[in-house]
Amino acid sequence: MTEADTGPDPASSIQRRHAEDEYAAELAALAASDDPPRPPGWKLSPAAVITYLLGGTTEAGTPITPKYIGQRRLMEVAVATLATDRALLLLGVPGTAKTWVSEHLAAAISGDSSLLVQGTAGTPEEAIRYGWNYARLLAEGPSAAALVESPVLRAMSRGSLARVEELTRIPSDVQDSLITILSEKTLPIPELGGERLARKGFNVIATANDRDRGVNELSSALRRRFNTVVLPVPSNVDEEVDIVSRRVAALGRSLDLPDLPPAADEIHRVVTVFRELRSGMTEDGRSRLKSPSGTLSTAEAISVVTGGWALAAHFGDGRLRAADIADGMVGAVVKDPASDRIVWQEYLETVVREREGWRDFYRAARDIR
């Protein structure tokens, strides 16, 4: 099988590229005109990392797209934390761009966002420390060659950032294996009679879900190694519409969806519905609403619009219409078939029905039962 069979260019056939590849041009442009001193092991200066995250233009005039839309101070604290070689803990409800921010931080600072440990209830200690290639271990005994490095160990030797997703889902004893790594910046390997020292530039970004706090609460010893940044839900409609439109456009490109005319109205509608149900109050502040059991994050709003886009492009008339988003919307809101359905019906009948210009959406949503 030749390359011609799989596609014209292997890079473009990758479903989702790492941030450092996707935005390689921007990172290169930033590095080219980056004068301020860089912390040891960093690819960019802190100021350039913030520009990369929040958008702007380089001194040479290259435009940088914003990766995070929200308060500047949050990104400043995050970058300053990593510059003081303290570990960074990003907290927030699902869908507040925690993973997104950590990936881009790793891409901008280390040029490598792939050193990732996904936290689950079954994450073993080997995922954070090291494991063994047992065939080799049995054949040759403990040796460096038989060692299977974890992403964290690899990050230590390379002096780059390691990412731990969903830290609070990891069992407490496994979590605590991070303590030595973070405080001593070293990992003893008693089997080889030595240790692995972290190079400058090594650090850890962890994300955790606010709602999960009770799952595996961090021990205070571990907690102490982290600076905490809480990522909030977007503060107003315009900000959230901005986030959704940008992400939908970016996703549409990477999923090769046929081009659609911009559909600001429908995006605004999705965001409004999500915000109202999430906050339990209409945007005009007049009536109270019940909130469904799901989190209704911005990320879900993005997937509702992307889904609607796919529907419109492949089955519709090429324009994003109310009916295209209604389906995904009901699916996003109604997570618990009993109670959420009532919440949704109430919302439809009391708020959507009365709202001017929302007739089409009301009809479309009502037909989905």
| Residues of the shown chain interacting with another protein in the complex, contacts defined by CB under 8 A | 46-47, 50, 73, 76-77, 79-81, 83-84, 86, 89, 91, 220, 223-224, 227-230
Contact status, residue 269 vs residue 296, Cβ threshold 8 Å = no
Cα–Cα dist 179/172, whole Å: 11
Query: Quick one: 50 or 334, whose CB is closer to another protein?
Result: 50
Residue 72 Cβ vs another protein, minimum distance, rounded to whole Å = 9
Residue 37 Cβ vs another protein, minimum distance, rounded to whole Å = 10
Residue 225 Cβ vs another protein, minimum distance, rounded to whole Å = 9
Cα–Cα dist 226/237, whole Å: 32
Among 80, 83, 75, smallest CA distance to 54 is for: 75
Residue 302 Cβ vs another protein, minimum distance, rounded to whole Å = 25
Side chain identity at residue 180, one-letter code: T
Query: Quick one: 213 or 314, whose CB is closer to another protein?
Result: 213
Among 16, 18, 45, smallest CA distance to 32 is for: 45
Contact status, residue 301 vs residue 292, Cβ threshold 8 Å = no
Residue 218 Cβ vs another protein, minimum distance, rounded to whole Å = 9
Helix (H, G, I), strand (E, B) or coil at 221: helix
Among 11, 33, 9, smallest CA distance to 20 is for: 11
Residue with tokens 């995006």, as numbered in its chain = 267
Residue with tokens 């109670």, as numbered in its chain = 339
Residues facing residue 64 across a β-bridge: 56
Residue with tokens 């939908």, as numbered in its chain = 248
Helix (H, G, I), strand (E, B) or coil at 35: coil
Query: Quick one: 73 or 369, whose CB is closer to another protein?
Result: 73
Among 73, 81, 122, smallest CA distance to 105 is for: 81
Residue 359 Cβ vs another protein, minimum distance, rounded to whole Å = 32
Orientation angle between helical segments 322-333 and 264-279, nearest 10 degrees? 20
Query: Quick one: 210 or 327, whose CB is closer to another protein?
Result: 210
Query: Quick one: 224 or 359, whose CB is closer to another protein?
Result: 224
Query: Quick one: 81 or 123, whose CB is closer to another protein?
Result: 81
- For the CA atoms of the chain, what is the radius of gyration? 23
Cα–Cα dist 151/154, whole Å: 5
Query: Quick one: 91 or 305, whose CB is closer to another protein?
Result: 91
Query: Quick one: 76 or 239, whose CB is closer to another protein?
Result: 76
Residue 80 Cβ vs another protein, minimum distance, rounded to whole Å = 4
Residue 10 Cβ vs another protein, minimum distance, rounded to whole Å = 38
Q: Which two tokens stand for residue 89?
A: 């803990």
Query: Quick one: 106 or 229, whose CB is closer to another protein?
Result: 229
Residue 128 Cβ vs another protein, minimum distance, rounded to whole Å = 22
User: Which helix (H) or strand (E) segment is 52 a member of?
Assistant: helix 46-54
